[in-house]
Structure 1
């Protein structure tokens, strides 16, 4: 009976230790940026200004999925961020929203966007009256 209790306890400890190691490895992998290193990041930033508007629901459900579909298999993932505060207390918000595409190859991205540029721009009034700022960068970490 005592041996059975010891074995059961050891099995439980082993299971919890293994679970903790898996979670720790997942956390390190997620936070280290390994999955994104070397990818091209296209950030579409919508600056905040008095009188500017942004329809997040439309952007999330219509615009971003449309652009993502144009990118096809070159697209690794995309993210949508909603601005909530400035980095400086009591100062106006810098950006209302930022949409980011992570792609494998810049030239493939440009080739996919070029024929669809007018359709993308024509959709702007459906969700914003702000002119976006676009930054194309390489993820280094």
Structure 2
């Protein structure tokens, strides 16, 4: 399983609309990128306001999904002004 973590950094001027992210942005992600599943983390303390995790059955599925990310990427300014960092990982155990 492949996990793509999209991490939105906190900061004095960082904004993040969690309600929009959960109800509108993730609907776009589901429809266009088509992960097997996803979850959202809300930062309590630390360097990130929020982290969105997308899970894919294979590297090929992840590459295909991310190739369709245009609409989701265009939606980012609707919920945050933060520049995200992305981590791609292989799940080795759960």
When the two structures are superposed, what TM-score results if normalisation uses the length of structure 1? 0.61
- Report the RMSD for the aligned CA atoms in angstroms: 1.3
Q: Which residue of 1 aligns with 2:26?
A: 64
Runs of 5+ in structure 2 lacking a partner? none
Partners in 2 of 1:79 and 1:63 — Cα distance?
A: 13
Per residue, is there more strand in 1 or in 2?
Answer: 2
Rg bigger for which structure?
1
* TM alignment of 1:8-87, pairs within 5 A: 39-72=1-34, 75-86=35-46
Higher relative contact order (CA 8 A, sep 6+): 2
Query: 2:29–2:69: 8 Å Cα contact kept in structure 1?
Result: no
More helix by share: 1
TM-superposed CA distance for 1:50, in Å, is 1.5
5+ residue gaps, structure 1, are 1-38, 87-93
* Structure 1 equivalent of residue 50 of structure 2: 97
